[in-house]
Amino acid sequence: MSHPKRSYNNTSSSSSSSSGSGSGSGVGGGVGGIGGNPFQTTSNTNTSSMKKAKSQAISCSMEKNGQNNHHYEDFGTSMIVDDNNLKSESQFGVIDCTSQNPTTIVAANLSRKKATPPQPAKKPLVIKFTKGKPKPPTNFEETTWIVLKSAINAIFLKQRTPSHFEDLYQAVDSLCIHKMGGDLYQRIEKECEAHICRVLQSLVGQSPDLVVFLSLVENCWQDLCNQIMMIRGIALVLDTTYVKQTSNVLSLWDMGLHLFRRHLSLCPEVEHRTVTGMLRLIEKERLGEAIDRTLLNHLLKMFTALGIYSESFEKPFLECTTEFYAAEGVKFMQLSDVPDYLKHVELRLHEEHERCLLYLDSSTRKPLVATTERQLLERHTSAILDKGFTMLMDGNRIEDLRRLYALFSRVNAFELLRQALSSYIRGTGQGLIMDEEKDKDLVSSLLEFKASLDMIWEESFSRNDVFSNTIKDAFEHLINLRQNRPAELIAKFLDEKLRAGNKGTSEEELEGLLDKVLVLFRFIQVSASVDLILFVIFKDPSCLSLLFLLCRPIFFHISAYNCH
């Protein structure tokens, strides 16, 4: 409670100045009792100005410190003093005019140095939160849903939404803030389900043309994807708050896919015609017709997104592939020779691989290729070898043999190919070895035969060690079919070449020929080799040094045998 201010007026009459120091009842009276009035304005101008400046400084200091102010108008005329703040002002260095001699007050004011006024203490910033959230209007949820429902229906009808996107977004946000996200989610799901059911039912009994029908299904799927994405854009806050915070609740996108999958299964005619149409298009492509691969790509991606690709499409697709290539394999094996059939199989495998890249799901590639290989290759490996392997080997068909090797490697048929190679070498070589009429050219024929086999091994069979050992074993069997006769023929062949020397051939060619003969000689068994050595010794002892170089491993074998 503030005290009333008391005003003391100095009348400036000369009689009041003689009232004495102890008789003044106010500031004016007290000052008049001291020998002369020190506040009198008629004294010299400088003194009066100084006094007035000091009094104004005191007043300014008190105002800055937030205290109740003493207003000293002209000291010679009037002063206003707040009794309530006299004590507090004295504590801050302001002299109490009611308790001290006026002369002392003036002297203190004159001698006092001007100091920086104390700064008020900084108060901490306090943020006050309101208790609770403001409650929405009673019909807020219903009116907001009416706006959102009209926008969703406009999206499904491919019309312009009556409200701006930002307003719709804010409406969903407001519903989520007020914990109404669960009801909103159920309402959106109900609208989506009604639309999806209506659209799929409209496809029943549509165009009998499979391509036209598949195009309708694709358009339906593309429209639904775009519409669900637009609805999700409006209700993004619902997806990131309610859906994320609630277990066993699908996102809006997954909810749309789930509804489409469920109602597609409830329309078996639509699903069956879609799968049948896609299988028919693929069959047409295999028969050489041009098809819309983009259409297939979109529909199969739809099946993948719905999670029904494996069960609804891949399984019947692989069954159709098995039937198609089983019939084709039998037909082509009867009508084509082996080289053409191998080219056809290679082409089919390439086409199926491209098919996986263009529109089939990547998970289908492995079972699809395996099915094709099984029907076109694995079921016909024996027939291929029986029908054309000898022809390929006799014709030295390097490229076709390379293709045969590569295809057989895909179905793990190397053992069959190895057996066929061994049988071919033994059969062909036996015809050379056992025909005595051809003894004259036997060594040359064996060298040519071995050279052709080596070329096939290097260029067609990828230098496979298994086939290299097969060639060696088969030749060893051939060389020793007639006991010592091949050894004698090899000795005669060496004798002729060594006697001829460099006539008609260069030294490099002669060395190369001797290396090839050495390969044949290594296939000869030890007993036949000893006979050959004895034959050369008696025939031409001058060849003994060369023969020693050729047969050094055999000499070591004989010496080791004698040591035992």
Burial 206-227 (b: 16+ CB within 10 A, else e): eeeebeebbbebbebbeebbeb
For the chain, give every domain's residue range.
Answer: 6-111, 140-266, 272-376, 394-436+445-478, 483-564
User: Residue 465, class by beta-carbon neighbours within 10 Å (0-12 exposed, 13-18 middle, 19+ buried)?
Assistant: exposed
- Cα 507 to the center of its chain, rounded Å: 65
What tens-digit pLDDT sequence spans the chain (564 residues)?
444 444 334 433 333 333 333 333 333 333 333 334 433 434 444 444 444 444 444 444 444 444 444 444 443 334 444 444 434 444 444 444 444 455 555 555 555 555 566 767 777 777 766 656 678 788 999 999 999 999 999 999 999 999 999 999 999 999 999 999 999 999 999 999 999 999 999 999 888 899 999 999 999 999 999 999 999 999 999 999 999 999 999 999 999 999 999 999 999 999 999 999 999 999 999 999 999 999 999 999 999 999 999 999 999 999 999 999 999 999 999 999 999 999 999 999 999 999 999 999 999 999 999 999 999 999 999 999 999 999 999 999 999 999 999 999 999 999 999 999 999 999 998 888 887 787 788 888 888 999 999 999 999 999 999 999 999 999 888 888 877 777 778 777 777 776 766 566 677 777 777 777 777 777 776 554 555 555 555 455 555 555 555 555 444 444 443 444
CATH fold label, 272-376: 5 helical Cullin repeat like (1.20.1310)
- The three-point CA angle 124-125-128 to 5° equals 130
Torsion angle (degrees, nearest 10) of CA 459, 461, 464, 466: -140
Q: For residues 70 and 62, is the Cβ–Cβ distance under 8 A?
A: yes
- As a whole number of angstroms, the distance between CA 300 and CA 297 comes to 5
- As a whole number of angstroms, the distance between CA 11 and CA 28 comes to 8
DSSP 8-state symbol, 362: G
- As a whole number of angstroms, the distance between CA 107 and CA 237 comes to 76
Distances (CA, A) of 141 to 175, 177, 243: 7, 12, 19
Residue with tokens 């002063």: 79
**Against a cut of 0.85, is the pTM above it?**
no
- As a whole number of angstroms, the distance between CA 442 and CA 489 comes to 8
DSSP 8-state symbol, 16: G
Query: Which amino acid is it at 474?
Result: A
Cβ contacts of residue 355 below 8 Å, gap of 6+?
A: 282, 285, 368
Choices 3.60.15.10, 3.40.50.10860, 3.40.50.620, 1.20.1310.10: CATH for 140-266: 1.20.1310.10
Report, in angstroms and rounded to the nearest whole number, the Rg of the chain calculated over CA atoms.
Answer: 58
392's tokens: 């390929």
**Which CATH architecture best describes the domain 394-436+445-478?**
Up-down Bundle (1.20)
Question: Helix/strand/coil (H, E, C) string of 387-454?
Answer: HHHHHHHHCCCHHHHHHHHHHHHHCCCHHHHHHHHHHHHHHHHHHHHCCHHHHHHHHHHHHHHHHHHH
